[in-house]
């Protein structure tokens, strides 16, 4: 047996998300189908993050245990020949048998894009949330910075999460603004279900003047999901990278 580390990029627009489901195409399902062609039997693939329907990835990581011995460069080309063009395998590597894409991860980085212009960009419509009204960027930046550190993110956790604790450590939380494109990046040791989108939705409400920047520390101090902002749409979100030891 060998363990493969597979790094992927994908446009998640038409998929039901990372996780295989009874109905609809998933990233996991398509990758497992491609691996089964080489293995000759079913293969289980584990992903570093279970991206939702419509969410994209620049550096998703998957792991799988297989017996076939094709070299990594051959596998990269072969996988891409069998996968739809919206999904690309960026690299394949042999790793230690103990490696697990999800449980071995030490940090992840997500990016959220907002097109803050009067008119939407038709070429960006599937990859950015369009908000035509002016936003208070400085207030959003101040609020974003207050997320850095170890906090209880229960206020940004959607129902359906099966994790025992909502405490997470965020090492980076910042906005960039360039020619009408707002980009939010957040890095941390782990993320709850819909956590990034809930944070972005809350920061946008601050930018709209619907709530003060001081709401973020208050939410971290004991707020509930009902107290935080709406969940931002999925199509602006990207899983950028996953870090390992």
Angle at 193 between CA 90 and CA 169, to 5 degrees: 85
Whether residue 52 lies in the annotated active site? yes
164-174 burial, b at 16+ Cβ within 10 Å, e below that, comes to eeeebebeebe
Q: Which two tokens stand for residue 194?
A: 């819909």
Strand ranges for 179-223 from DSSP E: 181-188
CB 184 within 8 A of CB 158: no
CB 62 within 8 A of CB 45: yes
Residues counted in the chain: 245
Alpha carbon distance 65, 63 (integer Å): 7
Cα 101 to chain centroid distance, Å, stands at 14
Q: Which two tokens stand for residue 221?
A: 């101090």
CB 101 within 8 A of CB 93: no
CB half-sphere exposure, 195, CA atoms < 13 A: 31
Alpha carbon distance 142, 127 (integer Å): 25
Which of 11, 23, 33, 52 is catalytic? The answer is 52
Report the catalytic residues: 52
């Amino acid at each position: 047996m060998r363990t493969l580390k597979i790094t992927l990029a994908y446009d998640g627009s038409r998929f039901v998300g990372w996780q295989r489901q009874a109905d609809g195409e998933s990233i996991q399902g398509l990758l497992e189908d491609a691996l089964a062609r080489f293995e000759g039997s079913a293969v289980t693939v584990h992903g570093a993050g279970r991206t939702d329907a419509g969410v994209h990835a620049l550096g998703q990581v998957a792991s799988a245990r297989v017996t076939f011995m094709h070299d990594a460069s051959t596998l990269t080309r072969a996988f891409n020949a069998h996968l739809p063009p919206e999904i690309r395998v960026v690299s394949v590597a042999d790793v230690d048998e103990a490696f697990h894409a999800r449980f071995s991860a030490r940090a992840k980085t997500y990016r959220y894009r907002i097109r803050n212009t009067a008119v939407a960009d038709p070429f960006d419509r599937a990859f950015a949330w369009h908000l035509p009204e002016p936003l208070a960027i400085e207030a959003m930046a101040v609020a974003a910075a207050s997320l850095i550190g170890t906090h209880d993110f229960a206020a940004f956790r959607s129902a359906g999460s099966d994790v025992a604790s909502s405490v997470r450590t965020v090492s980076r939380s910042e906005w960039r603004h360039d020619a009408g494109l707002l980009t939010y990046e957040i890095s941390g040791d782990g993320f709850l279900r819909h956590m990034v989108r809930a944070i972005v939705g809350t920061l946008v409400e601050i930018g709209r003047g619907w709530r003060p920047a001081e709401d973020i520390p208050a939410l971290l101090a004991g707020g509930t999901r009902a107290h935080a902002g709406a969940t931002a749409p999925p199509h602006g979100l990207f899983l950028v990278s996953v870090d390992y030891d």
